[in-house]
Amino acid sequence: MSQRFFLIQSGIPPERWVQAFPAGMWCPPAKLTATLQAGAVVWVPTVLSRWEERVRTLLAQHPGTQVVVASPVPEDSEGLRAIQAGARAYCHLQAVPGVLQEVDQVVRHGGLWVGPDLVLRLMRATQQALSGSPSAPLPEVDLSVLSERERQVALAVAEGRSNREVAQSLFISERTVKAHLGAVFEKLGVRDRVQMVLQLSASQRPARNDA
């Protein structure tokens, strides 16, 4: 199993981190690289000074590392900076242990974890990039491979709704939403909700008429 590190400046780590990952390794930033192995997951809290610089330096020195940035007060602008720095996830520093474990699992499987509002910002940025590059190839998404319920869940998520909001609107449980999303990811050949949203957005873009 790959390593899991949590950067702390001093003292004890957040209680929920310990609850979620009792076997995690806690260390100050200066001692990290000496023991880092390929494929490790490193959690970086934004309370550390120069956290963006730390993320970029870490990824430059260890390209195979997966970085999770955690913030005590998550904001879309900060999350966007984290993703731009190379992080694979941006979440609340004091999220419940179950959410922290889910973030870790998504990152370990090559996915990207961000909040629904940030998904929308990334989607809009991609739409603008595509509109400025009309020759760019667009991914083909065949929604016919999805069941009706899977299609409803996928389109609701593409609108920027959270799992809870999707569950409430469709009168199903959040666990069922997650199960449907897992099936959607597999059928559409995507790794996470961000890739799914971007593909759905691109496929629904109106065709250009150059005649």
Structure-block tokens of residue 157: 């998520």
Interval 103-112 mean pLDDT: 82
Indicate if 22 and 71 belong to the same structural domain: yes
Q: Would residue 210 count as lying in a domain?
A: no
Q: Which of 113, 144, 178 delimits the end of a domain?
A: 113
The candidate with the shortest Cα–Cα distance to 177, out of 153, 205, 158, is: 153
Indicate if 61 and 29 belong to the same structural domain: yes
**Average model confidence (pLDDT) across the chain:** 80
Contact yes or no for 153/166 (Cβ under 8 A): yes
- Reduced to 3 states, what is the DSSP secondary structure of residue 191? coil
Q: Which of 98, 113, 128 delimits the end of a domain?
A: 113
Indicate if 21 and 102 belong to the same structural domain: yes
More confident residue, 103 or 114: 103
Order of strands, sheet of 25-27, starting from the edge strand that comes earlier in the sequence: 25-27, 4-7, 41-45, 66-71, 89-92
Q: Which tens digit of pLDDT belongs to each residue from 32-89?
A: 766 677 778 999 999 998 999 999 998 888 888 899 999 999 888 888 889 889 898 9
User: Measured between alpha carbons, how far is 86 from 183 in angstroms, rounded to an integer?
Assistant: 27
User: Measured between alpha carbons, how far is 77 from 68 in angstroms, rounded to an integer?
Assistant: 16
Q: Which of 78, 94, 113 delimits the end of a domain?
A: 113
User: Measured between alpha carbons, how far is 156 from 143 in angstroms, rounded to an integer?
Assistant: 14
Structure-block tokens of residue 96: 């419940």
Q: Would residue 42 count as lying in a domain?
A: yes
Interval 19-34 mean pLDDT: 79
CATH number at residue 80: 3.40.50.2300
Q: Would residue 208 count as lying in a domain?
A: no
More confident residue, 178 or 111: 178
pLDDT bracket for residue 200 (50, 70, 90): confident
Indicate if 122 and 191 belong to the same structural domain: yes
Indicate if 94 and 34 belong to the same structural domain: yes
Q: Would residue 209 count as lying in a domain?
A: no
Indicate if 28 and 87 belong to the same structural domain: yes
In terms of residues, how long is the chain?
211
Indicate if 15 and 51 belong to the same structural domain: yes
Q: Which residues pair with 45 in a beta bridge?
A: 70
The candidate with the shortest Cα–Cα distance to 163, out of 79, 102, 205, 209, is: 102
Tally of domains within the chain: 2
Range of the domain at 107: 4-113
Indicate if 16 and 100 belong to the same structural domain: yes
